[in-house]
Structure 1
Amino acid sequence: MVLDRDLEAMPWTERAAHRQWLLREADDLFRFFEAASLDPDGGVRVPDTDGRPLPGGVTELHTTTRLVHCFALGSLQGRPGARAILDHGMRALWERHRDKEQGGYVWSFGPGGFVDDRKQAYGHAFVLLAASSALQAGHPDAARLLTDVTDILDKRFWEEAHGASAEEFTRDWQPFDTYRGQNSNMHLTEALMAAFEATGERAYLDKAGRIADLVVNRHARAQGWRLPEHFTEDWQVDRAYDGNPIFRPYGTTPGHWLEWARLLVQLWELEGRRSDWMLEAARALFAQSLADGWDAARGGFVYTLDWDGAPRIGDRYWWPACEGIAAAAALRAVTGESLYEDWYRRIWDFAALHLIDRRHGGWHPQLGPDNQPKSEPFADKPDLYHALQACLIPLLPTDIGLAKGLREGRLATA
C-alpha cells in the first residue's frame, strides 16, 4: 500500500474536514454554556459538570467578561441566542459590576450588591476585551463601556514609568500591596490589541508593545525564557512569592509561556512585523514550554514548575493545552515549519482524548498526573473562553484578531 505523503504533509488547518471539526467543537461549547449562562437575578452562571446551571449566587468579573467576549463572537457568527446572552452580560457589567460611586469595576456581586469590591487589573483587562468584542459585534452599549474602562485603566492602573499596569486597589482606590503581576498584564496586552482593532487608536497598540517588551523581552529573556510571574513594585522578579494557587501560584507557569507565544505573533503582525524580537521570543517561549512543561511519557502540560524547571503542580489544566494549540497554529502559519504542525496535532490529540468531556459536554478543567479528571480546584466547568479560542484561532489569519476577523468574514470554514 502506498501512502499519500502529500496529504499527510498538508496542515490540518488547510483540510476542510478539520476546519469543520473545529467549528463543530466550537458549536458544542456554545451549546453547553448557553443553557447555563443566564441568571435571572442579573448575574451570569457557569455550568456544573453535567451542564446544569449552578445555583445563583456570586458573579465574578472574569466570568461575566469572558462570556460577553465569547457570545460577542457567537453573535458575529450569526449564532441564534448569542445576542441575548451578550445583552445580559453587558447589563451585568454596566449595572452590577460597575461602581457608580467610585468608578471602576468590582470583582464580584451577589443578589444584595457587591461582594468582593476590590478593583483588579486582571478583571479590568477583561472588561476592555469584552467591550472591544461587543463593539465589533455592533452592541449599542459597547462604546460607552470601552470609553469608561479605558479611562479607568489610564488614570488608575497604568504606570507610565514602567510601561505596565499596577495590580489592585481597594474600592476607593487605595493601594493595599506592592505586588505586580505578569498575568494581568498579559491579558491586558490581549485586550489592548482587541481595542486597537475595534477603534483604530494607536495608543492601545503602543501600550501592548510596552508591556510585551517589559515582561517578555526583558524579564523572560533574562531568565532563559522561563517567564517570571511575580514582581515587586519596581518590577524586580520576586522568586519567593507564593499567592493564590489558581491565579498566583509559586514558581512559573508554562501555559503562560504558550499564551505569550500566541500573543506575540499577533502583536508582531499588528505592528507590521517590525519588531523581530517578538517572533524570536514566541519561538523561544514555545520551545521552553515543551522542554519544561510537556510530560513526554503521559502527555499534557503540567500546571506549575519550580525555578529549575521541575514540575511543582503536576496536574494538567485545560487552558495550557488550549494556548498550546493556538500558539502552534500561529507559529506554523508564520514560519511554515513542520515542528509546529506536529505539536498542533499532538496537543489536539491529547485534548480530544483526555480533556474534552464527550459524555457531559464541555472540557474537564483539570486532570491528575494519571490523566484522569479531578474535582479540585475546579469542581465545575468554569470557562468557555480558552477552549472556544482554541477552536477558532486556527481558522483565522495571524494578522487579525478574533472579533475583527469574524466581523470581516475571514474565518476559514470550507
Structure 2
Amino acid sequence: MPTQTSWTALESHRAWLDRGFTNVLWFVRGSIVPAGGFAYLDRNRRPMAGRTPELFLTARMVHTAALGHARGLPGCGGLLDHGLESLLGLFADTAHGGWFSRPEERTARKSTYDHVHVGLAASSAVALGHPLADRLMARVVEVVDTRLWDESAMALRESFASDWSDSEAYRGANANMHGLEAFLAMGRATGDAVWHERGLAIADRIINRNAREQGWLVPEHYDHDWHLLPDYNKDRPDDPFRPYGATPGHSVEWARLLIELHDSQLVHGPGWLVEAAEELAARALDDLWEADGRPGLVYTVDWDGRPVSTTRLHWPVCEAIQASASLYRTTGNWHWERWYRALWDHAAAFFIDAEGTWINELDDDMHEGGTVWPGRPDVYHCGGALTGPVLPRT
C-alpha cells in the first residue's frame, strides 16, 4: 500500500496556499481610510455605502497584514503601520481608556469582543518587533486586567457603558472564544503564562463542562452568573454576533484553539483538550455537514441539531480547514486529512472566486448573499485558512 502524504506536506499545495494568501491581501490593499481604519469592502473592492471603519475589523487587518509582512509580501507593511496607528490614535478612548468600536460613536458601549481583537493585533505586531507594538500591548494588558477579566468567574465580561460602568448582565461564548485566541497569542508574544492559564480556564468552563453536557454543541449565551440561556435570541436566528442556538462554525473554531492550548509551552495541557477538539469537530463535520441537504455547514442549529439559519458563511469553512489540519497533525488520524481535502474542495467550488478571493456568504441557491455579513468585510478567516495549516507549532 503506498504511503499516504498529507497535502500540507506537499510543496505544490503549500505553493497554492501562498498564492491564495497573496490574492486575498491583494484584494484589501486599497482599503486604507486616510483618517484611520479600513473600509468595509463590497465584492468589487469598493467601500460599502453606510459602513464606517470598525475596531475589530481594523485589529483583524493588523493581524493579517503582520502575517503577510512576515512572509515578505510587499504592501503589507503599509497596512500594518496604518492599522497600528489607527488603534493607538483614532480608535483610542483617551478619556476612559480602551477603544471605541466605531470612532464616530463615542458614547456607545464598549465591547469585549472588539477589545480582545486588539490583543491579537498587538501580539502579531510584537512578534514582528514593530516599534508601536509594545505600547499597544501595554494598553491591552491594562484594559484586560482592570476591566474585562472577571477573576471570580475566570472568564471575560461582555460589554460596558462608554465609561466602563454598567457591566452587561450577559456572558457570551463568542467574546470568550476570541478572548482565548487573543490570550494564546499574547502568551506567545510576552512569554507570560498567565494568558494561557486564563485561556485554559475559559475553555474548561465553556467546552469541557458546558459543551460536553450539550453533546458537543457549544452553548453560546449565559446570564451574568453563567447560567445557560438556551432560548436567547430565538427570534433573531441571523444575528451576526449572538444568533439563537449553536453555531457549528464555532465548534470547529474552538477545536482549533484547543489544539493550540494543547501545544502551549506555557501551561500543561490536560488530556481533555485533544479529546474535546475531536468531539467538537466530529459533531460539526461528521454530524452537521449538509444538515439541510445542501453542501456545507449551516450557520446555526437548534439543540437537537436541526438547522435554524441555513445561510452559508465562509468563515466556518476556514475554521474547519484549520481545525482539521491541526487535528491530523496532532492525532495522525487520516479521518481529519480527508476532511481537510474535502473542505478545500468545497471552498474552491463555492467560496473562492475567479480572482482567487473569497465570497463571504452564500444564499439558499449557493450564490453570493448578504443576509448576515453583506459584502466582503475582512480577510482574517480566509487568511488563517491559507496560512494556519502550515505554520510551525509553538
TM value normalised by structure 1? 0.90
In structure 1, distance between residues paired with 2:186 and 2:228: 29
Q: Which residue of 192, 203, 206 corresponds with 1:212?
A: 203
2:88 to 88, 94, 97: 94
Q: Contact 1:60/1:107 (CA < 8 Å) preserved in 2? A: yes
Map of 2:365 onto structure 1: 370
Q: How far apart in 2 are the matches of 1:119 and 1:371?
A: 36
CA 1:196–1:176 in structure 2 vs 1: closer, same or farther (change >3 Å)?
closer
How is 1:18-167 mapped onto 2 (pairs within 5 angstroms)? 18-35=13-30, 37-54=31-48, 58-110=52-104, 114=105, 117-167=108-158
Residues 41 and 56 in structure 1, CA contact (< 8 A), matched pair in contact too: no
Contact 1:220–1:228, Cα closer than 8 Å, also in 2: yes
Please list, as runs of the form range in 1=range in 2, the aligned pairs for 1:195-234 lying within 5 A after superposition: 195-234=186-225
Identity fraction in percent: 41
Assess if the C-alpha contact under 8 Å between 1:33 and 1:46 holds in 2: no
Structure-1 residue corresponding to 2:351: 355
Consecutive unaligned residues of structure 2, counting only runs of 5 or more, are: none
Q: Is the contact between residue 109 and residue 160 of structure 2 (CA under 8 Å) also seen in structure 1?
A: yes
Residue 407 of structure 1: aligned partner: none
Residues in 2 aligned to 1:47 and 1:369: alpha-carbon distance in whole angstroms = 23
Three-state SS of the structure 2 residue aligned to 1:85 is: helix
Q: Confirm or deny: 8 A CA contact 1:298 1:370 kept in the other structure.
A: no
Q: Secondary structure at the match of 2:358?
A: coil
> Does structure 1 residue 326 correspond to structure 2 residue 322?
yes
When structure 1 is superposed on structure 2, of 193-202 and 362-371 the one drifting more is 362-371
C-alpha distance in 2 between matches for 1:179 and 1:165: 11
Structure 2 letter corresponding to 1:281: A
Q: Is the counterpart of residue 268 in structure 1 residue 262 in structure 2?
A: yes
Give how far 1:299 is off: 1.8
Q: Which segment drifts farther, 22-31 or 285-294?
A: 285-294
Where in structure 1 are there 5+ consecutive unaligned residues?
401-414
Answer yes or no: is the 8 Å Cα contact 1:303–1:315 preserved in 2.
yes
1:293 Cα deviation from its structure 2 partner: 2.6
Count, aligned residues: 389
- Work out whether residues 361 and 374 of structure 2, in 8 Å CA contact, stay in contact via their aligned partners in 1: no
Change (3 A) 1:226 1:137: same
1:371-406 alpha-carbon deviations (Å, 9 max, x no partner): 222132333111210000001011123x32xxxxxx
Q: TM-score, normalised by structure 2?
A: 0.95
3-state SS of the aligned residue for 2:103?
strand
Q: Deviations over 1:2-59 (max 9, x none)?
A: xxx636x311111111110011100100101112x21122231132111234468621
The yes-or-no answer on 1:180 pairing with 2:171 is yes
Distance in 2 between the 1:306 and 1:294 partners? 14
Of the candidates 232, 247, 259, which is equivalent to residue 253 of structure 2? 259
- The amino acid that maps onto 2:44 is D
RMSD of aligned C-alpha atoms?
1.7
Q: For residue 295 of structure 1, what is the aligned residue in structure 2?
A: 290
Say which SS state the counterpart of residue 270 (structure 1) adopts: coil
CA offset digits 1:125-179 (Å, max 9, x no partner)? 1000000101111211111111111111111111111110000001011225311
Q: Which moved more, 1:271-280 or 1:259-268?
A: 271-280
Letter aligned with residue 348 of structure 2: A
User: What is the distance in 2 between the residues matched to 1:66 and 1:330?
Assistant: 21
Verify the 8 A CA contact 1:108 1:116 in the aligned structure 2.
Answer: no
Which residue identity does 1:196 align to in structure 2?
G
Which deviates more from structure 2 when the two are superposed, residues 212-221 or residues 39-48? 39-48
* Pair 55,88 (structure 1): closer, same or farther in 2 beyond 3 Å: farther
Post-superposition offset of 1:278: 0.3
- Shift of the 369–54 alpha-carbon distance from structure 1 to 2, 3 Å rule, reads closer
Question: Is 1:281 aligned to residue 276 of structure 2?
Answer: yes
Q: Aligned in 2, Cα 1:150/1:176: closer, same or farther, shift over 3 Å?
A: closer
Secondary structure of the structure 2 residue equivalent to 1:379: coil
Deviations, residues 218-275 of structure 1 (Å, cap 9, x unaligned): 1111111111000111111110110671100001101000001010001011056641
Matching residue within 372, 381, 384 for 1:386: 381
> Would you say the 8 A contact 1:230–1:238 is kept in 2?
yes
For 2:159, the equivalent position in structure 1 comes to 168
The residue type equivalent to 2:173 in the other structure is Q
Among residues 372, 391, 394, which one is paired with 1:396 in the alignment? 391
Read off the aligned partner of 1:159 and give its amino acid letter. D
- Checking the alignment, whether the CA contact within 8 Å between 2:106 and 2:162 is kept in structure 1 is no
